[in-house]
Amino acid sequence: MRAARGDFLSSAEAMRLAIAEAKKGFAHVSPNPLVGCVVLDSAGRLLSVGHHEKFGEAHAEVNAVKGLSTHELQGAQVFVTLEPCAHEGKTPSCAKMLAQLPIDQVVYGLEDPNPLVKGQGAAILKAAGITCLHYQEMATHDLKDELEELCEAFLWNFRHRGVFVALKVGCTLDSQLALSSGESKWITGEESRSEVHRLRASYDAVLVGSGTVLADDPRLDIRHPEIQKANLAVVIDPSGRLTSKRDQLALGQRELGKTLWIEGERDPAKILDRLWDEGIRSVMIEGGAQIASAFLAAGLINRLHLFRAPVLFGNQGRSFAEFFRVESMGERLTPRQIQTQNFGPDTYLTGLLRDPQTGVIYRGM
Amino acid sequence: MRAARGDFLSSAEAMRLAIAEAKKGFAHVSPNPLVGCVVLDSAGRLLSVGHHEKFGEAHAEVNAVKGLSTHELQGAQVFVTLEPCAHEGKTPSCAKMLAQLPIDQVVYGLEDPNPLVKGQGAAILKAAGITCLHYQEMATHDLKDELEELCEAFLWNFRHRGVFVALKVGCTLDSQLALSSGESKWITGEESRSEVHRLRASYDAVLVGSGTVLADDPRLDIRHPEIQKANLAVVIDPSGRLTSKRDQLALGQRELGKTLWIEGERDPAKILDRLWDEGIRSVMIEGGAQIASAFLAAGLINRLHLFRAPVLFGNQGRSFAEFFRVESMGERLTPRQIQTQNFGPDTYLTGLLRDPQTGVIYRGM
Burial class (CB in 10 A: 0-12, 13-18, 19+), B62: middle
A107 touches chain B (CB under 8 A): no
- Per-residue pLDDT band at B253 (split at 50, 70, 90): confident
Interface check for B326 against chain A (CB to CB < 8 A): the answer is yes
Residue A97 backbone phi and psi in degrees, to 5: -65, -45
Q: Are residues B180 and B309 in the same domain?
A: yes
Residues 289-308 in A contacting B (C-alpha not used; CB under 8 Å):
293, 296-297, 304, 306
CATH code, A103: 3.40.140.10
B217: confidence class by pLDDT, cuts 50, 70, 90: confident
DSSP A24-61: GGTTT-TTSPP-EEEEE-TTSBEEEEEE--STTS--HH
Q: What is the mean predicted confidence (pLDDT) over B246-255?
A: 82
When CB atoms are compared, the residue of B297, B315, B324 closest to A325 is: B315
Report CB contact under 8 Å: B325, A315: yes
pLDDT of A249 above 90: no
Alpha-carbon gap, residue A275 to A265, rounded angstroms: 12
Shortest alpha-carbon distance between residue A313 and chain B (Å): 5
How far is residue A130's CA from residue B269's CA, in Å, rounded to a whole number? Answer: 77
Show residues of chain A in contact with B351, CB under 8 Å.
310
Q: Is residue B93 part of a domain?
A: yes
SS3 B262: strand
- Which CA distances in Å does A34 have to A49, A113, A262, B202? 14, 14, 29, 49
Task: Determine contact: A364 vs chain B, CB below 8 A.
Answer: no
Contact B325/A333, CB-based, under 8 Å? no
Domain annotation covers residue A336: yes
Percent of chain B with pLDDT over 90: 83
B342 CB neighbours in chain A (<8 A) are 340
Q: What is the reported pLDDT for B9?
A: 96
Average pLDDT of chain B to the nearest whole number = 94
Please tell me the distance from the alpha carbon of residue A290 to that of residue B206, in angstroms, as a whole number: 38
DSSP symbol at B141: S
Residues A281 and A173 in one domain: yes
Q: Does B48 touch chain A (CB under 8 A)?
A: no
Residue in chain B lying closest to A363 (CA): B311
pLDDT band at A63 (very low <50, low <70, confident <90, very high): very high
What CATH number does residue A197 fall under?
Answer: 3.40.430.10
Considering the domain architecture, whether residues A23 and A77 belong to the same structural domain is answered as yes
pLDDT at residue A256 is higher than 90:
no
Q: How wide is the angle at C-alpha A32 spanned by C-alphas A29 and A38, nearest 5°?
A: 75
Residues A81 and A187 both lie in one domain: no
> Which residue in chain A is spatially nearest to B327 when comparing CA positions?
A179
User: What are residue A245's phi and psi, to 5 degrees?
Assistant: -100, -5
* Mean pLDDT to the nearest integer, A175-191: 94
B16–chain A nearest CA distance, Å: 24
For residue B3, is it within any domain? Answer: no
Contact B349, B195 (CB under 8 A): no
Question: With an 8 Å Cβ cutoff, are B296 and A306 in contact?
Answer: no
**Residue B335 at interface with chain A, using a CB cutoff of 8 Å:** yes
Please say which residue of B150, B166, B195 terminates a domain: B150
- Is residue A363 in a domain? no
Interface A-B, measured as beta-carbon pairs within 8 A, has a size of: 118
Task: Tally the domains of chain A.
Answer: 2
pLDDT band (50, 70, 90) for residue B1: low
Q: Does the active-site annotation cover B137?
A: no
Q: In this structure, are B221 and B279 located in the same domain?
A: yes
Task: Give the list of residues 6+ apart from residue A128 with CB closer than 8 angstroms, or none.
Answer: A99, A100
Tell me the β-bridge partners of B234.
Answer: B207, B260
The arithmetic mean of pLDDT across residues A112-136, rounded, is: 92
How far apart, in whole angstroms, are the C-alpha atoms of residue B365 and residue B363? 6
Q: Please say which residue of B93, B119, B150 terminates a domain.
A: B150
Q: Please give the average per-residue pLDDT across A193-203, as a whole number.
A: 96
Residue B358 falls inside a structural domain: no
Determine the pLDDT at residue A116. 79
With a pLDDT cut of 70, the percent of chain A lying above it is: 99
Q: Are residues B224 and B327 in the same domain?
A: yes
What pLDDT does A1 receive?
Answer: 66
Q: How many CB atoms lie within 10 A of CB B34?
A: 26
- Distance, in Å, from the CA atom of A197 to the CA atom of B279, rounded to the nearest integer, reads 53
Q: Which of residues 170-199 of A touch B (CB under 8 A)?
A: 172-175, 179-180, 183
Range of the domain at B283: 154-352
Determine the average pLDDT of the residues in A30-37: 95
Q: Is residue B360 part of a domain?
A: no
Residue contact A321–B312, C-beta within 8 A? yes
pLDDT of residue A90 exceeding 90, the answer is: no
The confidence score (pLDDT) of residue B117 equals 81
User: With contacts defined as CB-CB under 8 Å, which chain A residues touch B301?
Assistant: none
Percent of chain A with pLDDT over 90: 83
- Decide if A362 is inside a domain: no
Which residues in chain B have their CB less than 8 angstroms from residue A174's CB? 175, 319-321
**Which of A52-56, A172-176, B152-156, B183-187 shows the lowest per-residue confidence on average (mean pLDDT)?**
B183-187
Mind listing the pLDDT tens digit for each residue in B294-306? 999 999 999 999 9
**What value does the mean pLDDT take over residues A256-283?**
94
E strands, chain B, are 36-40, 46-51, 77-82, 105-110, 131-134, 164-171, 205-209, 232-237, 259-263, 282-285, 303-308, 336-343, 346-352
A292 and A338 inside one domain: yes
For testing contact with chain B, the best of A325, A341, A349 (most B CBs within 10 A): A325
Which pLDDT score, from 0 to 100, does residue A252 have? 77
Residue A160 pLDDT exceeds 80: yes
pLDDT for B128 equals 96
Residues of B in contact with A175 (CB under 8 A): 173-175, 319
What type of residue sits at position A322? Answer: E
Q: Verify that B138 and B184 share a domain, yes or no.
A: no
For residue B177, which residues of chain A lie inside 8 Å, CB to CB?
A: none
pLDDT of residue A248: 86
| Same domain flag for A180 and A328 | yes
Pick among A184, A313, A327 to test the B interface (most B CBs inside 10 A): A313
Q: Which residue of A has its CA nearest to B324?
A: A314
Q: How far is B87 from chain A (nearest CA, A)?
A: 42
Q: How far apart are the first and last CA of chain A?
A: 34
Judged against a pLDDT cut of 80, whether residue A257 lies above it is answered with no
Question: Is residue A158 domain-resident?
Answer: no
Please give the model's pTM, rounded to 2 decimal places: 0.94
Among the candidates A128, A150, A172, a domain finishes at: A150
pLDDT score for B138? 83
The active-site residue, picked from A13, A21, A53, A61, is: A61
Is residue A306 predicted with pLDDT exceeding 70? yes
What number of H helices and E strands is found in chain B? 12, 13
Please judge whether B319 and A316 are an interchain contact, meaning their C-beta atoms are less than 8 angstroms apart.
no
Return the residue of B nearest to A344 by Cα.
B338
Q: Are A253 and A145 found together in one domain?
A: no
ipTM above 0.90, yes or no: yes
pLDDT of A255 over the 90 cut: no
| pLDDT, tens only, B137-196 | 887 778 999 999 999 999 999 999 999 999 999 999 999 999 999 999 889 999 999 999
Chain B residues with CB-CB distance to A319 below 8 A? 174-175, 315, 319
Q: What is the pLDDT of residue B106?
A: 97
From the list A293, A312, A334, the residue facing B332 with the nearest CB is A312
Q: Which of A180, A319, A340 sits opposite B315 (nearest CB)?
A: A319
Closest residue in chain B to residue A174, using alpha carbons only: B175
Are A180 and B311 a contacting pair at CB < 8 A?
A: no
Query: CB–CB of A179 and B345 under 8 A?
Result: no
In a shared domain, residues A171 and A299: yes
Residues B212 and B309 in one domain: yes
Chain A: closest CA distance from residue B148 (Å): 21
Contact B312 A323 (CB under 8 A): no
